[in-house]
């Protein structure tokens, strides 16, 4: 077996400052309202002298421009579950290691994904796209992989001997042992994990902790280490809360994009799609504003989901600033990709009409986008029908007459001056419609006007009456 551990050392920062690059110095607060303490600071804040455990006042002495936000344990837990659902696409055995790590058994996945080099690249690229700094380590046991990753070691060790040697070199404070136990071991002169691995198990249990020998055996694989496995939930439910009310669509867009990326990762892991989901905008003293987003086809890519949700948000007036933004999806139909023949040539530069329809519909509204569908009728004004765009993609065109037809028909035919008309070719007679009481008998011609435009004209069949303009040729 080969276990990989994904350690997320800056998960609190990633959750609260995703996409926010305006302020270089950022930190997460914990503690009480009367005494806020720095729980985590980014690299720029640490370079300025901010440290974990500093009071907010002390931190601002070192970094006056420090931007802080209160820690959100619930959001961190939800983010870890979302990442576990994403990791489920690479392994059927995924374990949550709260508060900031994931374990997945990847030995059975190596052949499927083309070996460890390819698999680790996919894992790293996926975490990077989701906006998470991480440490990735792999070892034959889950405890060893976790210890190496949490110690900041980017290692992939495929046999027990190399894993034991790497573990032996770890300093005790970075081994994952409790701080009280590390202090007790330091008191007797031990500094590295290798000294514990060589010590008699019975003496370690008697002098330090009865659970210590069992942990060492799980670390080296001498005893089994069963872990509870994660299973993706049947619904997606995420909520992000804000310290202050937000009334800017641009600011909400950053958060919405994060939620849509999480939803896309969840759907990829389930190999499913979503056709309808709910945005819930929470306010301080008012009821939440629900916004239902519907799609023509099940989607699972982040960009079309984000465009549909953003379009709905832009068209929906909100009664008050937003204090929380939630995304809920319950109906998750299977995702069926577009069918193509095995030997069909790949499209080159073709316009993706369904995707364009979704974007226009999200931007302009449900009723603003319509399609035209050909209809088997010789009367020009009845030869088409307004239809759903999705029906127009796959409609079967009726046979068209041999004579050319203009692309632009006027809503009502209009009289046109008889002078200076250059008739091009013989007339075409259209005589039909007797069965529904709207029969027509017309002679159509193509005429070129003095300005160079080509017009489609008609008059009553067999008469010398005035010409009526019915359409224009491009």
DSSP per residue, 236-283: EEEEEEEEEEE--HHHHHHHHHHHHHHHHHHHHHHTB-EEEEEEEEE-
Question: What's the pLDDT score for residue 360?
Answer: 74
Contact indicator for 236, 327 with CB cutoff of 8 Å: yes
**Domain identity same for 205 and 246:** no
Per the domain annotation, does 42 fall within a domain?
no
Tokens of 323: 């204090």
Q: Which of 329, 350, 371 is the last residue of a domain?
A: 329
Nearest to 263 by CA among 235, 223, 297, 222: 235
Q: Which of 215, 232, 249 is the last residue of a domain?
A: 232
pLDDT of residue 39 exceeding 70, the answer is yes
**Domain identity same for 200 and 302:** no
pTM of this structure:
0.67
Question: What's the pLDDT score for residue 252?
Answer: 87
**Domain identity same for 292 and 413:** no
Q: Which residues pair with 94 in a beta bridge?
A: 104
Question: What's the pLDDT score for residue 427?
Answer: 86
Q: Is 373 exposed, middle or buried (0-12, 13-18, 19+ CB in 10 A)?
A: middle
Q: CA 46, CA 25: separation in Å to the nearest integer?
A: 8
Strands 67-70 and 26-31: parallel
Q: CA 290, CA 179: separation in Å to the nearest integer?
A: 47
Tokens of 301: 């890519």
H/E stretch holding 292 reads strand 289-299
Domain membership of residue 244 as a residue range: 236-329
pLDDT of residue 400 exceeding 80, the answer is no
Position 137 confidence tier, pLDDT thresholds 50, 70, 90: very high
Contact indicator for 101, 6 with CB cutoff of 8 Å: yes
- Percentage of residues in the chain having pLDDT higher than 90: 41
Query: Can you give the CATH number for the domain in which 180 is found?
Result: 1.10.150.20
Q: CA 327, CA 278: separation in Å to the nearest integer?
A: 6
Question: What's the pLDDT score for residue 337?
Answer: 59
**Domain identity same for 4 and 138:** yes
Mean pLDDT of the 270-297 span: 87
**Domain identity same for 4 and 139:** yes
- Helices 249-270 and 302-315 sit at what angle, rounded to 10 degrees? 140
**Domain identity same for 225 and 105:** yes
**Domain identity same for 182 and 227:** yes
**Domain identity same for 246 and 213:** no
Per the domain annotation, does 68 fall within a domain?
no
For the chain, give the mean pLDDT.
Answer: 85
Of 356 and 425, the structure prediction assigns the larger pLDDT to: 425
Number of structural domains the chain divides into: 3
């Amino acid at each position: 077996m080969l276990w990989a551990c994904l350690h997320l050392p800056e998960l609190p920062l990633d959750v609260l400052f995703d996409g926010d690059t305006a302020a270089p110095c950022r930190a997460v607060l914990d503690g009480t309202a009367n005494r806020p303490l720095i729980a985590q600071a980014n690299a720029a804040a640490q370079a300025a002298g901010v440290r974990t455990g500093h009071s907010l006042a002390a931190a601002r002495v070192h970094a006056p421009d420090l931007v802080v936000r209160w820690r959100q344990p619930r959001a961190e837990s939800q983010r870890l579950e979302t990442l576990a659902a994403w990791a489920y696409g690479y392994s059927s055995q995924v374990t949550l290691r709260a508060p900031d790590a994931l374990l997945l058994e990847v030995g059975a996945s190596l052949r499927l994904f083309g070996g460890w080099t390819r698999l680790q690249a996919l894992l790293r690229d996926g975490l990077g796209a989701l906006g998470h700094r991480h440490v990735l380590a792999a070892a034959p046991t889950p405890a060893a992989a976790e210890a190496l990753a949490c110690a900041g070691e980017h290692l992939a060790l495929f046999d027990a001997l190399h894993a034991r040697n790497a573990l032996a070199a770890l300093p005790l404070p970075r081994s994952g042992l409790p701080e009280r136990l590390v202090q007790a071991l330091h008191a007797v002169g031990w500094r590295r994990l290798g000294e514990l691995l060589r010590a008699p198990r019975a003496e370690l249990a008697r002098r330090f902790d009865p659970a210590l020998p069992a942990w060492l055996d799980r670390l080296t694989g001498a005893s089994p280490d069963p872990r509870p496995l994660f299973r993706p939930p049947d619904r997606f439910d995420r909520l992000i809360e804000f310290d202050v009310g937000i009334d800017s669509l641009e600011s909400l867009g950053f958060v919405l994009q994060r939620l849509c990326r999480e939803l896309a990762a969840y759907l990829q892991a389930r190999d499913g799609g979503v056709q309808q989901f709910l945005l819930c905008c929470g306010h301080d003293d008012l009821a939440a504003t629900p916004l239902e987003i519907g799609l023509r086809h099940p989607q699972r890519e982040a960009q079309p989901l984000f465009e549909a949700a953003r379009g709905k948000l832009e068209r929906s007036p909100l009664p008050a600033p937003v204090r929380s933004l939630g995304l809920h999806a319950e109906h998750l139909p299977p995702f069926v990709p577009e069918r193509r023949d095995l030997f069909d040539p790949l499209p080159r530069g073709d316009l993706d009409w369904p995707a364009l329809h979704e974007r226009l519909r999200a931007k302009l509204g449900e009723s603003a986008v319509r399609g035209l569908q050909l209809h088997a009728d010789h009367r020009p004004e009845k030869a088409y029908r307004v239809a759903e765009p999705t029906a127009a993609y796959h409609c079967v065109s009726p046979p068209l007459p041999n004579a050319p037809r203009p692309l632009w028909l006027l809503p009502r035919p209009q009289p046109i001056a008889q002078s200076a008309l250059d008739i091009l070719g013989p007339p075409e007679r259209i005589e039909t419609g007797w069965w529904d009481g709207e029969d027509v008998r017309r002679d159509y011609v193509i005429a070129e006007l003095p300005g160079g435009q080509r017009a489609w004209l008609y008059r009553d069949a067999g008469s010398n009456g005035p010409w009526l303009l019915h359409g224009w040729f491009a």
